[in-house]
Structure 1
Amino acid sequence: MFPGMGRGMNPKKMQGMMKQLGIDMVEIENAEQVIIKTTDGDIIIENPSVSIMRAQGVDTYQINGNVKKVPKALAITEEDIRLVCEQTGVSEEKAREALKASNGDLAEAILSLAS
């Protein structure tokens, strides 16, 4: 924390102190959405307030807004379904169900239907 900085600190004074330390703060205007993609799915921030703090050549982003998490959708292709059908002799519906149950793992789906 900066010396003399209290709860009621004037934002202009704070900005001046940051400038003296070589820290620049920039607000991104009109941001509509921020999407962070992860292996588990997406984190979507709607109507964000986005600030960039630049210090010593490094940009740090601060994002505030309405957060929504969207889990990664399981991608089951028609080719995978056909392969499971060919290997096991089951209907496309049963093959699709087995692939969903195995999280898209072909070998596991085929083995579960073969037993």
Structure 2
Amino acid sequence: MFGGGGGLNPRKMEQMMKQMGIDVDDIDAQEVVIRTDEYDLVFDNPEVTKMDARGQETYQIIGSPEEVEAGSAGGTPAVDGDAGAGIPQDDVELVAERANVSEDEARDALEAAGGDLAAAIGNLE
């Protein structure tokens, strides 16, 4: 992005990014799962960085994933009997926190968005 950057001081780089309205945060992630129709990619103990450039969030994952059978990667299932079964509780909590709404509102938004976290948050903001 900044052409090589080999000689740039990390502190100077951070100042330049702040001036351009870009915030960078490290996320202390234990696991990242990317689900596809054919397989899941599971990153154990990845380095995750979130970059927020004027409201557009981008996540960078650094690590070596393990490819596992689709749907076999862990995750927190929804509680049986809950409205919105199939929507993981972790997703509900994340949407509720990000959009500053109740868990019921977050679950409804996730259901309406077909489980898409970004769409659910965007619809609530």
State the TM-score, normalized to the length of structure 1.
0.56
Aligned-pair identity in percent equals 46
**Which letter maps to 2:64?**
N
The alignment status of 1:33 with 2:31, answered yes or no, reads yes
Cα distance in 2 between the residues matched to 1:47 and 1:61: 15
Deviation, 1:54, is: 0.1
- Cross-structure match for 1:58: 56
Query: How far apart are residue 14 of structure 1 and its match?
Result: 0.3
Which structure is larger by alpha-carbon Rg, 1 or 2?
1
Deviation at 1:10, TM superposition (A): 0.9
Q: Which runs of 5+ in 1 are unaligned?
A: 74-115
Question: Residues 1-115 of structure 1 correspond to what in structure 2 (within 5 A)?
Answer: 1-2=1-2, 6-29=5-28, 31-72=29-70
Choose between structure 1 and 2: higher strand proportion: 1
User: How far 1:46 sits from its partner (Å)?
Assistant: 1.0
Paired residues of 2:31 and 2:45 also in contact (CA < 8 A): yes
Distance 2:65 2:13 in 1: 28
Structure 1 stretches of at least 4 aligned residues deviating more than 4 Å after TM superposition: none
Q: 3-state SS of the aligned residue for 1:63?
A: strand
Q: CA RMSD in A?
A: 1.7
Pairs aligned (count)? 71
For residues 8 and 34 of structure 1, the distance between their equivalents in structure 2, rounded to whole angstroms, comes to 32
Residue 2 of structure 1: CA displacement?
Answer: 3.2
Q: State the TM-score, normalizing by the size of structure 2.
A: 0.52
Structure with higher RCO (Cα < 8 A, 6+ apart): 1
Q: Is contact 2:35–2:70 with CA below 8 Å preserved after alignment?
A: no
Deviation of the 1:56 alpha carbon: 1.8
Say whether the 8 Å CA contact 2:42–2:66 is kept in structure 1.
yes
Counterpart residue type for residue 6 of structure 1 = G
